[in-house]
């Protein structure tokens, strides 16, 4: 087991230049903040929602030759609490200068962790809040939890231009207990986050607090199972991957990783070595936005539509992972160098986990005539991180397989968001006495910058069609796959269709395999859904990307986030719906594919008090990218007595 923190961090001022896509080191983060402070006279009233690598131009990275370097730059977002103004800056770490400083009007950056704690303290200190609790018979403030949420945008004029949070309140049964099981419905403080003042207390009437404590921690579980034997995963010779900085090689896979406070894990320059040539597949891949719309229309709940990336940032909320709990086996950890809101360097240790795991049978065939069996075990490389966003946990997992397949999977667990039943269970499920778990959905937008054997790619939709009965199909059994080119942005706004076995493929029309087919990868949908919000609802105006499962745009380095750069309190219309109005051509060009997948959650009693993990995602699978199966060179797995194949060839091991 190795963590990045065990090694001295690299410095931008060292004699060893960093690769241009290496994340900022802690020293670089500190330097960027210091340069900005000194050259722009930034006082204590400023917060730093974001300090990350300013990625160099894609063309410069792709043309970089061995031994060459590019200037190192940092990108900063700054919030002036005194004026409510937001700024973006670019700081050159090479020249120690602020090279760009821009005011971004009428936006709100993401809410930061220490804003949450300051907000809670302000609410608890407010006499009207204390009086509202007393009206409900609640006197012990130590048992009260104030959980600030982004307020959204619902067109209310008195909220325009003010940085706001609308808090949900809870009451623990005991100190250290599960507060999510006991919501104080009908009591909602609203706070100005720039001044940390309570601007109003929304009191919708007294609702009884649900009685069940819903405890789940080990100290509350009195009779754990006793019939579980130890399961150990060992690699006596160590793992098969190598890591240099944030550059990872595993079998034929080669890629880099980064980490941002908004997106979390970012993949760069993903390629596969094929017959001695490293072939590019993806230049950059990351989660661009995730939105959780809730389905209860009551005043207490209708605003619950969380943009977990744009309003908070899953990278900033990443867990420090624990060996044997979050990760199992021979693990390599990466730390994340971030900042707190005041610009101080904040290290999330063990933020990213890298390991291998067995994945069953890769391929097998038995030739009974020769009495010979050939079988290969599948192994996959796993790189992941986990974020806690209020009540929910999200595990974000990339899997790389030996046959060239890439899989992305989100693992959803944590605690359901509940309200007091209040005699209205229609929009949720009763999971404990008087406790209603609200219906909701989780939508994820992936930004996939494909570069299949080069930057000029095209996207096709593939539907399976049944051949009509007739002379060419006399017995009615024939069907075929019909590929249709998606030539422009509007044509590429598509929905899944399981009745047509629909998938999409990205191809390079200028590169062919040995069979004369264009090399490609296909996007295979997994668990998915459509939003049930009304087309005119505020949430669909703000998160319009949810309305389509596939979007395709021509490459633009500034188009990173499906709902726009600043969704917090934004009225909507930004991101993919706005960009694609231009209907730009996307055939045989540098394309970015945006895949939306949704997890539809009607809660169950079995999801309480902590939800067993649910899974959602998609698969990228080679289709003509290779001349044949790239997994044929995987050797048989050794076992105690010989190896996992039989026949004459077993003597060759």
Cite the active site residues: 308, 392
Ramachandran bin of 516, using left for φ above 0, alpha for ψ from -120 to 50, beta for the remaining angles: left
Angle between helices 113-124 and 127-135 (to 10 degrees): 70
Burial 460-490 (b: 16+ CB within 10 A, else e): bbbeeeeeeeeeeeeeeeeeeeeeebbbbbe
Residue with tokens 């949720």: 428
User: Within a 10 A sphere around the Cβ of 275, how many other Cβ atoms?
Assistant: 9
Helix (H) or strand (E) holding 559: none
User: Within a 10 A sphere around the Cβ of 326, how many other Cβ atoms?
Assistant: 16
DSSP track, 246-307? TEEEETTEEEEEEEETTTEEEEEEEEEEETTEEEEEEEEEEEEEEEEEB---STTTTT-EEE
Smallest CA-to-CA distance from 625 within 447, 404, 406 is with 404
Residue with tokens 């009191």: 203
For residues 56 and 60, give the distance between their C-alpha atoms in angstroms, rounded to a whole number.
7
Smallest CA-to-CA distance from 162 within 199, 127, 125, 189 is with 199
User: Within a 10 A sphere around the Cβ of 496, how many other Cβ atoms?
Assistant: 22
Which residues, in sequence order, are bridge partners of residue 507?
A: 458, 520
Q: Are 321 and 385 in contact (CB under 8 A)?
A: yes
Ramachandran bin of 263, using left for φ above 0, alpha for ψ from -120 to 50, beta for the remaining angles: alpha
Q: Are 440 and 650 in contact (CB under 8 A)?
A: no
DSSP track, 494-547? B---GGGT-EEEEEEEEEE-TTSPEEEEEEEE-S-----S-TTSHHHHH-GGGG
User: Within a 10 A sphere around the Cβ of 153, how many other Cβ atoms?
Assistant: 22
Burial 625-645 (b: 16+ CB within 10 A, else e): bbeeebbeebebeeeeeeebb
């Amino acid at each position: 087991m190795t963590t990045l923190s065990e090694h001295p961090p690299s410095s931008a001022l060292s004699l060893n230049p960093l690769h241009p896509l290496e994340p900022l080191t802690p020293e670089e983060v500190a330097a960027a903040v210091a340069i900005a402070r000194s050259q722009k006279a930034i006082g204590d009233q400023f917060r730093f929602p974001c300090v990350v690598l300013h990625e160099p131009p894609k063309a410069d990275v792709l043309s970089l030759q061995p031994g060459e370097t590019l200037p190192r730059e940092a990108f900063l977002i700054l919030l002036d609490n005194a004026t409510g103004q937001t700024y973006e800056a670019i700081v050159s770490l090479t020249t120690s200068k602020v090279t760009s400083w821009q005011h971004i009007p009428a936006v709100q950056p993401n809410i930061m962790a220490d804003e949450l704690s300051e907000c809670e303290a302000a609410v608890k200190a407010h006499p009207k809040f204390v009086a509202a609790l007393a009206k409900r018979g609640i006197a012990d403030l130590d048992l009260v939890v104030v959980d600030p949420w982004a307020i959204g945008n619902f067109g209310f004029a008195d909220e325009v231009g003010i940085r706001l949070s609308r808090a949900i309140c809870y009451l623990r049964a005991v100190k250290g207990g599960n507060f999510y099981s006991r919501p104080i419905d009908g009591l909602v403080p609203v706070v100005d986050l720039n001044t940390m003042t309570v601007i109003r207390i929304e009191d919708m009437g007294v609702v009884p607090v649900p009685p069940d404590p819903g405890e789940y921690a080990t100290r509350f579980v009195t009779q754990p199972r006793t019939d579980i034997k130890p399961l150990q995963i060992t690699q006596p010779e160590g793992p098969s991957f190598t890591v240099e900085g944030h550059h990872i090689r595993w079998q034929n896979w080669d890629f880099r990783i980064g980490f941002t406070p908004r997106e979390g894990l970012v993949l760069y320059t993903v390629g596969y070595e094929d017959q001695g040539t490293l072939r590019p597949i993806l230049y950059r891949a990351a989660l661009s936005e995730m939105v959780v719309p809730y389905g209860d229309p009551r005043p207490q709940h209708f605003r619950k539509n969380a943009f977990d990336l744009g309003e908070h940032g899953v990278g900033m909320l990443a867990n420090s992972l624990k060996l044997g709990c979050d990760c199992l086996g021979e693990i390599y950890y990466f730390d994340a160098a971030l900042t707190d809101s005041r610009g101080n360097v904040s290290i999330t240790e063990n933020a990213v986990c890298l390991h291998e795991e067995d994945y069953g049978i890769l391929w097998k065939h038995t030739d009974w005539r020769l009495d010979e069996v050939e079988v290969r075990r599948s192994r996959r490389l796993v790189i992941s991180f986990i974020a806690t966003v209020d009540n929910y946990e999200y595990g974000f997992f990339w899997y790389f397989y030996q046959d060239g397949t890439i899989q992305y999977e989100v693992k959803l667990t944590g605690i359901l968001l509940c309200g007091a039943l209040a005699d209205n269970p229609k929009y949720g499920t009763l999971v404990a006495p008087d406790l209603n778990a609200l219906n909701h959905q989780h939508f994820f937008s992936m930004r996939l910058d494909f570069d299949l054997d080069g930057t000029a790619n095209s996207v096709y939709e593939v539907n399976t069609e049944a051949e009509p009965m007739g002379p060419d199909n006399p017995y009615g059994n024939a069907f075929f796959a019909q590929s249709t080119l998606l030539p422009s942005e509007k044509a590429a706004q598509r929905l899944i269709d399981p009745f047509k076995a629909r998938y999409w493929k990205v191809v390079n029309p200028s590169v062919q395999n040995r069979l004369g087919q264009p090399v490609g990868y296909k996007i295979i949908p997994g668990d998915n859904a459509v939003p049930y919000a009304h087309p005119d609802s505020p949430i669909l105006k703000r998160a319009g990307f949810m309305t389509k499962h596939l979007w395709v745009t021509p490459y633009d380095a500034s188009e990173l986030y499906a709902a726009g750069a600043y969704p917090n309190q934004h009225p909507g219309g930004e991101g993919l719906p706005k960009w694609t109005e231009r209907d730009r051509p996307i055939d045989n060009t540098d394309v970015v594919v945006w895949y939306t997948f949704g997890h539809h959650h009607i809660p169950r009693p079995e999801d309480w008090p902590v939800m067993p993990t649910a899974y959602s995602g998609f698969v990228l699978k080679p289709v003509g990218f290779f001349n044949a199966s790239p997994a044929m060179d995987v050797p048989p797995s050794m076992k105690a007595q010989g190896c996992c194949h039989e026949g004459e060839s077993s003597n060759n091991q």
